[in-house]
Amino acid sequence: MKILVLPGDGIGPEIVAQAKKVLNKLASEGMPIELSEAPLGGAAYDQFGSPYPEFTQKLAREADAILLGAVGGPQYDKLERPLRPERGLLAIRKDLNLFANLRPAILYPELANASTLKPEVVSGLDILIVRELTGDIYFGQPRGIRVNDNGEREGFNTMLYAESEIRRIAHVAFQAAQKRNKKVCSIDKSNVLETTEFWKEIVTDVAKEYPDVELSHMLVDNAAMQLVKAPKQFDVMVTGNIFGDILSDEASMLTGSIGMLPSASLDANNKGLYEPSHGSAPDIAGKDVANPLATILSAAMLLRYTFNEEAAAQRIENAVKKVLADGLRTGDIFEEGTTRVGCSAMGDAVVAAL
Ligand code: IPM
Ligand code: MG
């Protein structure tokens, strides 16, 4: 089990250190886990002058699975666009063909009060957003900033999906739904954008292969509204890269804290990059206050999806539930009557609960 660890920037190193404690615990019990480490994002720029250097690329291609902290920080904002940390993340996703991004939004009963929505709206929430990750307006060509015929500057990007890209992500969504509540809602803006009208057509066609799954369609603006109005109507949501980026941040907040949500980005063979859904939080970096649970839960997803180690994955998830039930909270999910702990202490508590 060759796992490459990419701590990244900001709080990345501290949260990844907690997930490593968990993996090392499993290794000490005999699981054949081999960890290696490389920089990505700003850390990679500092060391190698590139956010996704060859050193990291080589280890990433060799690994079975990758665990990432987070990338980005204000000190890199003035770099040329191709050198910025975010480009390192986009580059590794594209390089390894990690087209299927799974972003679960699950509300833990202990955290029902942490959401800004009423408990009855969110209690029992369990949504899976399946976001296409290597296409769309994020990667479409042409793109750039230019001077047009009138001598005015303009910015432009291209929203583009090939049929094969839509088909493969649709299959991922329908197969995920078969293991859940058998409902897929496909998100588009087919009333305005041809790319997503085509998306809708292809998803509808793929659905014929999954008669046991109920397919519905929703416009992205309505979906944004429905997510805060009645989020429990959703089971699996499948969508393109940019809509999925936006809706998954929105969905995460239904659960109270983005600090709780893991994610998986998979290729066609279940090689995967696993990372918390949140960012590098430079404002709290190095203070030992970040919430490591999303990263620890990402390690659980890694064991489940890449290595098929369902029992070990559940053991980690149950350990997380146990520390929450015991009342331990990092600052982002703290409320009166619970015990505030730091990042490292939270990691230790999860290892103990294992
Ligand atoms: C995410 C992030 C990235 C994205 C950024 C950092 C490039 O927002 O993983 O959702 O937009 O995909
Ligand atoms: Mg995002």
344 CB neighbour count, 10 Å cutoff: 16
Return the percent helix, strand and coil in the chain, to nearest 5: 50, 20, 35
Domains of the chain, with CATH numbers? Answer: 1-99+267-354 (3.40.718.10), 102-261 (3.40.718.10)
At position 273, the amino acid (one-letter code) is: L
Ligand 2 mean position to 277 CA, how many Å?
7
Q: How confident is the model at residue 306, as a pLDDT? A: 96
The tokens describing 342, both together, are 């730091």
What's the pLDDT score for residue 110?
85
pLDDT of residue 108: 87
Query: What CA–CA distance (Å, rounded) separates 236 from 216?
Result: 10
Strand locations in the chain, DSSP E?
2-8, 34-37, 65-70, 100-106, 126-132, 144-147, 153-156, 183-188, 214-219, 236-239, 262-266, 272-276, 328-329, 339-340
Q: Tell me what pLDDT residue 258 has.
A: 81
Q: Which residues are catalytic?
A: 138, 189, 221, 245, 249
* pLDDT number for residue 113: 82
> What per-residue confidence (pLDDT) applies to 109?
85
Buried b (16+ CB within 10 A) or exposed e, 156-180: eeebebeeebbeebbebbbebbeee
- For residue 90, the ligand 1 atom closest to its alpha carbon is 7
Question: Residues of the chain whose pLDDT is less than 70?
Answer: none
Q: Is the pTM of this model over 0.85?
A: yes
Residues in contact with ligand 1 by the CB-under-6-Å rule are 86, 89-90, 245
Question: Are 257 and 332 spatial neighbours (Cβ–Cβ below 8 Å)?
Answer: yes
